[in-house]
Each structure stands twice: as C-alpha cells, then as structure tokens.
Amino acid sequence: MINLVLFGKPGAGKGTQAEFLKIKYNLVHISTGDIFRDNIKNKTDLGVLAKSFIDKGDLVPDQVTIDMLEAEVDDNSQAKGFIFDGFPRTESQAKALDVFLTGREMKIIATIALEADNNILVKRLKERGKSSGRTDDQDEEKIWNRFNEYNKKTAPLKNYYQNQNKFYSVNGIGTINDIKKRLSKLIDAL
Ligand code: AP5
Ligand code: MG
C-alpha cells in the first residue's frame, strides 16, 4: 500500500500535486484543509470551530483534526493507499497517525517535502487570494502567521520522519509539470 505524506509550507503545491498523484497512483487524497473548508461552507459545528482558527492562520487544535482525519481514512477503507496533504502538522498528529495506521496494519512509506522560498509562496497565495475566497490568502499578515505556525509546529516533523528514514525533499519551484516529474521519479523509486 502506498501511503504518502505531502509536506511543505503553505502554498508549496501540496494540493496541486496531490490532484495529479492520486490519479497516477490510484490513491485517495485527504486534505485536512479542504475538509475544514467543506465544513465551513456547510456551517457544521466543526466548520464553525475550525473557522475561528483558520481565519487567523492558526492551526486547528490537534484532537479535533486527528479525529476528523481518522474518520476520513475509515470512510475509505477500500482505498489502495492515501495521500495525506496538510496532515500531520504537529508532532502529536504524527504520533497519532502512526498509532492509528499501525492499528490497521498500514504505515506511511514516505513523507515528501515540497521545498520553496517564502517570498515565492507569498506571491502564489496572494494571487490565489484574489479569486479563491480563502480569507487566509488575502492578508499578508495571516500568510506570515501561517509560515510562523509551520516553522514552530510543523517543520520539526522533518526530524521525526528522518528518524524513521522516510523523509524526502523535492524542489517545489518550477513549472507544475516539472514538479510532477520530480515527484513521480521519486515515488517510482521507493
Ligand atoms: P491547508 O488548506 O492545508 O493550507 P496550507 O497548507 O496553508 O496551504 P495551501 O493549501 O494553501 O497550499 P498547498 O501546499 O496545498 O499549495 P497549492 O497546491 O494549493 O490548511 C489551511 C488551514 O487549515 C491551516 O492554516 C489550518 O488552520 C487548518 N489546518 C489544515 N490542516 C491542519 C492540521 N493538520 N492541523 C491543524 N490545522 C490544520 O498551491 C498554492 C497556489 O500556488 C495555487 O494557487 C496553485 O495554483 C499555485 N501553484 C502550485 N504549484 C505551483 C507552481 N509549481 N508554480 C506556480 N504556482 C503554483
Ligand atoms: Mg492545500
């Protein structure tokens, strides 16, 4: 089973590349950000809670996110594998994911980071903010807060996955097509 974590700063291209990888490798793509946004759109209790964090560019609390992710995996029990996009984002999420997957005789085979400079990412996000309706893309201060959250809470996961020999980096700058090729080459060699 191919279970991948797509890792990277806000705007690094996780969602864009997951759309391609899920088709190429027949995987189920789970983006916690997308699920939160669906809940916000449908005004569920989870959506109301998540909105209060996402609008500021803060992470949503761990347990809420972990419970939601686990339910999503269990809803797709026939999957040939998963792409986790934007999860885990803290060490406690990573540990919970390992415990959860082990309990289902599954595991992460690779965590792949899309690497890119902040300044390029800010440009991408602000550009998307003009049309996406994502409040967290429209304000540079919120974008920088998302990077701060990433640096403080998510970046340390590199170490967590390196200790498991599962961490890989890919240059996330270039055309979307170039990056697709880099990712495919890496995944085919796993
Ligand atoms: P989430 O939705 O995961 O957002 P994010 O990680 O901040 O970043 P994006 O989704 O914006 O970036 P991406 O890497 O997917 O890039 P994309 O392909 O879209 O999370 C949102 C919020 O939800 C969080 O802030 C948090 O509050 C909450 N949340 C989610 N998960 C959580 C968790 N596990 N724990 C706690 N809270 C959580 O690309 C970005 C743009 O760039 C697009 O417009 C795209 O077209 C463009 N682009 C992509 N690739 C290229 C390229 N190669 N060249 C030029 N442009 C490109
Ligand atoms: Mg995304």
37-54 pLDDT per residue, tens: 999 999 999 999 999 999
The torsion of the CA quartet 47, 51, 57, 63, rounded to 10 degrees, works out to -50
pTM for this one?
0.98
Closest C-alpha among 93, 91, 159, 121 to residue 14: 121
129 lines ligand 1 (CB under 6 A): no
Average pLDDT over residues 17-46: 98
How far apart (Å, rounded) are the C-alpha atoms in residues 143 and 120? 12
Q: Do residues 138 and 129 make contact, with C-beta atoms less than 8 angstroms apart?
A: yes
Q: What is the DSSP string of 119-154?
A: HHHHHHHHHHHHHH--GGGS-HHHHHHHHHHIIIII
Percentage of residues of the chain with pLDDT beyond 70: 100
pLDDT of residue 3: 98
Token pair in block for residue 13: 């291209």
**Which atom of ligand 1 lies at the shortest distance from residue 179's CA?**
53
143-184 pLDDT per residue, tens: 999 999 999 999 999 999 999 999 999 999 999 999 999 999
pLDDT of residue 19: 98
- The preferred substitution site among 7, 16, 153 for testing ligand 1, maximizing ligand atoms within 8 Å of CB, is 16
53 lines ligand 1 (CB under 6 A): yes
Give the residue, by CA position, lying nearest to ligand 1 atom 1.
Answer: 33
73-124 pLDDT per residue, tens: 999 999 999 999 999 999 999 999 999 999 999 999 999 999 999 999 999 9
pLDDT of residue 149: 98
Token pair in block for residue 35: 């699920």
39 lines ligand 1 (CB under 6 A): no
Give the residue, by CA position, lying nearest to ligand 1 atom 47.
Answer: 124
Using the mean position of ligand 1's atoms as its centre, give its distance from the Cα of residue 11 in Å: 5
How far apart (Å, rounded) are the C-alpha atoms in residues 190 and 110? 8
